[in-house]
Each structure stands twice: as structure tokens, then as C-alpha cells.
A and B are shown apart, each in its own frame.
Chain A
Amino acid sequence: MAFDSQGSGRQPMMRSFRALMTSLLALLLLYLGACTTVQVQSALKSPGNLSSGENVVLLSNFGSTRDFDDSDVDNCIGSSMRQANPELGFVPARLFRENLFPYFMPGTTPHTLEDYKNVLNKAEVQQRITSLRVRYLVILTKGGTNTDWHGGIFCGAGYGGGGCLGLSWWDRRSELDFAVWDLQNKSFSGNVQASAAGKGIMPAFGLPIPIYSPATESAVCKELGARLAELLGRQE
């Protein structure tokens, strides 16, 4: 009997504890739901007339950022472009660079409109571009991720053991900017850029455990790839 009466006394306490935990979890989920926001901007002058058989090439640019190489660019936007539009044709970056040597090397990549015109007006260059059937060059012009840490976690250890206590959170912002060149018409088609911001959170009660880490870079890649596939893949 005594056991039953103790149990009935705990019930309201348990209920309020559950309610508190549920509301905390709901608040946390709400907070996390709004954690990563992506913004995409595109300004293409002449989007969308990629004919069948024409290809796109995706390049990194060491002059702009050294954090991304060709394979990073392909992993970033290439995979989501293929997913969004499986009919898009691509020329591998390595094949393009091999064909266009000495142009498009780290130290010889054109930057300005005039540079591009100078390169694209060369008969040998046009011949190689035509043989590869490359219509659009999508080249990285800006890219990177910044993280700002806030809060603090304090850790200590003694003979009896150790542990950490505190709360850290961080703001992460990723930004990527691509220029699109129409190599057949020897013209600049425009820019496509995207940025994503998110908050990460890591409480420490004993051990620091990150409960949310915003994947800003992959969010930017996905959105940019989908937008580029849509813009370049429209048929005439």
C-alpha cells in the first residue's frame, strides 16, 4: 500500500518533468528548424539554350580561392546539376584543361572580359572548344566558409576523473559565386551566387557533444547546382 501511495505522489512530478522536457525539445527543434537558410541569386543575361550534344565544363579557379579544386567543384555543383537534369552533358575539367593548354592553368586563367575575348578569339582555342562541343564554362569566382564561435566550454580533470561544462554555439556562413561564359558566342552570360548561414550548437555536460552542425556548404552546393541546371538546361 505504501508503495502505491508513493507512486501516486510522484505522478504529477513526472508529468511536469515530461512537459518541461517536451517543451524544451520542441523549442530546440524550432530553433534547429530555422538554423540553415540559403539564398540564391542569379543574373544570367542569356540563360538556357543548350542544344543537344553541347556540353558544360565546371572549373575551379586558384586565382579566386585555393580551397576548391576541380574535383571539389564537381562534387559540389556537378552532382546536383546531374541530379536536377540528367540530360545535361559535361566535359571533365581535366580533359578541358589538357585540350586548352597553355590557357586555363592556375597562372593563365583569364579573369576579365577582355582576357576571355583574347583567348577565345584564338583559332587554335576555338578549334579545341568546338571539338569538345563545350558551350558553357562555369568557373568559380568566389568561395569559402567562415565560422564565428561564441560561448565557452570549460574542461577540467583531477585524480577522480574529469569533465566539461558549458555551451558553445557557432555561426557558419558559406558563400559560392560562379561566372558563366558562353564559349561558342564568346560572351559573358552572367553570375550565379548563393550563400547559406546556419548556427551550430554544442552543449557540454561531462563531454562536449555537438547536437547540431549546420551543413551550409552542402546546402549552397545543392541549391546552386539545381539553379544552374535549370538555367542552362532550357532547350531553344
Chain B
Amino acid sequence: MRTKIEVREITKGFASDKGRLEVIENVSLSVREGEFVAIVGPSGCGKTTLLNLLAGFIRPDAGTVMIDGAPRSKPDSRGILISQQGSVFPWLTVRENLMFGLNGHAPAGNATIADHYADIVGLKGFEDSYPHELSGGMLKRAELARALVVKPEILYMDEPFSALDALMSLRMRNELLRILAKERHTVLLVTHDVEEAIHLSDRILVLSSRPTRIRASFDVPFSHPRRLSSATAQELRIAILRELGVDEVATDPFGSQTESK
């Protein structure tokens, strides 16, 4: 498959009180079309900054971000960012939110498209509801649907499910996989949850702490639906956690049991 995203030696720093703070240092990576790449790293390591660089919200100090072989310097609707806090407009109904990104088409047709995607994410019957009338999980669905409506080539997801409880987070992961099976998108997922990364992605990049470099890359060779309790999945999890500096045997009783089997 052809390369969708090509990142060449990008560097980014910010001015702070204590002088210059290097956040990203010489990161290069490439993502194939339709690939699901998860990026994990310690908290505060610059994962979000990296994602913002890729989506075009901030410019690198050095290096280039190429999408389809052309440099990307500002965000557009070919790549939609889904952030942790969410950005569903509270003053618009679900349908109006979903129609938001559809500029310049006939309004009637737009409503049909919006309702179609509301249905896909399981929000049928809530098209006229306002966001404050929805639960946290439903808000995430609305956010996802609003992104899918504009048929983005790339989804940038910044810890999209971390604000949800564990059960809802798991349910949303399955929903995402179900939707991606229907509409193939290139996905970049930033997360601190190694299990989530193994559940969802084709490849996992492990970042170092600041200044961020890519420390390791793991392929996730399992087919869907995945069983996270399988021995191979657990081995992968332990290997990734080790890269993140967590000694699995000492800190995780469940992990050490599966390892000893």
C-alpha cells in the first residue's frame, strides 16, 4: 500500500520561563494508506504536540510533514482531529453538528447525510438533541460521526476515549473497529493505554520522554476480533510496557501470571 503520511525529521520546541523547551526532536515516521497507527508514550512526552504537528495545527521548527507527497502546513477537512475534551458544539443539535462540516451542498441533502452517520454511530433518534442532553459516550459518538461525515482521509485521535469510564471506553473501541471495517480511514491514535493500542492498531510507536523521539515500533499482527487475554497479546503488552520503563513482573500481578503460563 502507498504511503499516506510521511514525516521527515521534525523538531518542535516552545519558549518557556526556564528558556527553550524542546518537545519533539528529530522524529521521522511514515504511515501507509488505511493503516491504524497507535502512538503511546509517558504522560507529558509531547504526544499531543506530535499529533497537532501532523494535523497541521502547529508548524514544526524544522522538518516536513507530507500528506500524499505534498507538504501539509495547515489543517483541512481531509484530516480531522478528535481531541480528548471533545469539541461538539454545545449550541447546535446533533444533526446541526453533523452538518457543520458540509459546506456548500444542498441543505436537504446534508441532513440526509448527517442522519445516515448518526445512524452509523448509534445516535438514531437523537438527531434533534442538544449535546447537554447526551451522555459522555454519546457525545463521543457524535464527535466521531461529525468527523466521518466529511469523509476524511485521516482521523487524528488524541486520547479520544480516556474521559470515559472503562466499560464505555471498551464499547467505543468496538464501535470504532466496526465503523472502520465499513469505511476504511487512515488513523493515528495517541493514547497512554497500551491495551487500547493493542486492541485497535496495526502498528504501535513507543515514544520516549521529552524531548520526544521514537523509541520503538511494534507490529500488531493479530486479526480482528482480537482477544487481549491471549498469551501473544500479553507478551506484546509486556514488551511495550518495558519500553515505557514499567517493570511488568514487579508492578502488575495479572501480567506476571500470564507471563508464567
Q: Say whether A associates with B.
A: no
